[in-house]
Amino acid sequence: MSRKLSIHLENVQETLLLPLWGRAVEARKKKPLLIDTAAADIINSIDYDFSAIARNISPISQLAWIARSLHIDRTIRQFLQAHPSATIVNIGCGLDTTFERVDNGSLTWYDLDLPDVIELRKVFLPETERRRFIPSSFLDDAWLHQLKIVDGVFFSSAGVFYYFDEEEIKSFFIKLAGLFPKGEMIFDASSEFGVKVANKKVIEGGGMDKSAILRWGCDSAQTIRKWDDRIALDEEYPLFKGIKRKLPFGEMIGTAFSDLMNIMRMVHLRFL
């Protein structure tokens, strides 16, 4: 795009820009942990003042977005080694660019989000024969039957499930387990303490839409495993595990505290 696109952002769209901006910032660093040229291209194509975001987002928040992407990329690539023609479903895709980073040339990819988000996504990212967009809530059963699977299925979701009630998440996971035996999923989760802290900041900060309030906190993925015998826990680990970056002392302590207290985690499930 030679001419920058002017967009008018509501609360939801602005939230979608945050992790995108974080990945673009990372790509411009001298020694980036994550190279995401697609994110940088999108940011460069938008006529939007990111200076307020740059001032208000802490290095630890930006690192959290990068850590999440690194863990998801690695796990998808591992799945693709065993299933080169796998179907990958990106739940709550927003302006995520994981496809551009992990595409092996033979996978089938679905990006799923609410209709208004998908319309925004189409402005920046192409839909192709191997990459389809699904405008739907993930809680709507209909899209589950649209998936074409020939070599296994892997579900990925970043920064989504916190915003829903536990019973909604439980029902959805049980559906996946029933429909997609041998399928797998990776997502990020927060402890109940982490949800309370995040919501306190949201309330104190003010000016944010009520949809930003987090609902679901989970202290251990063992709880999820008990929801259904067909749900198995493959792996659960702290968000910043294996993520190496020099940070100011206070923020370094913050990441260590988060990992020690199991506040933010990655969860990898298998369906039996």
CATH code for position 152: 3.40.50.150
pLDDT higher than threshold 60 for residue 51: yes
Are the CB atoms for 214 and 195 separated by under 8 Å? yes
Q: Is residue 2 part of a domain?
A: no
pLDDT at 252: 87
pLDDT, tens digit, 9 for 90 and up, residues 158-179: 999 999 999 999 999 999 999 9
| Terminal-to-terminal C-alpha distance of the chain | 45
pLDDT at 14: 64
Q: Which residues contact 236 (CB under 8 A, 6 or more apart)?
A: 220, 221, 265, 266, 267, 268
Q: How many domains does the chain have?
A: 1
Share of the chain above pLDDT 90, in %: 72
Is 0.75 surpassed by the pTM of this model? yes
Q: How far apart are CA 266 and CA 240, in angstroms?
A: 9
* H helix intervals, 88-161: 98-102, 115-124
What's 4's DSSP letter?
P
pLDDT, tens digit, 9 for 90 and up, residues 10-33: 555 567 888 999 999 999 999 999
Q: How far apart are CA 130 and CA 112, in angstroms?
A: 14
pLDDT higher than threshold 50 for residue 207: no
Three-state SS for 96?
coil
Q: Is residue 253 part of a domain?
A: yes
Q: Is residue 47 part of a domain?
A: yes
Q: How far apart are CA 43 and CA 255, in angstroms?
A: 27
Give the confidence band of 251 by pLDDT, cuts at 50, 70, 90: confident
What residues make up the domain containing 39?
Answer: 11-271
Q: Is residue 6 part of a domain?
A: no
Q: Is residue 149 part of a domain?
A: yes
Q: Is residue 115 part of a domain?
A: yes
pLDDT, tens digit, 9 for 90 and up, residues 174-190: 999 999 999 999 999 99
Q: Is residue 5 part of a domain?
A: no
User: Nearest Cα to 255, choosing from 268, 270, 267, 240?
Assistant: 240
Q: Is residue 1 part of a domain?
A: no
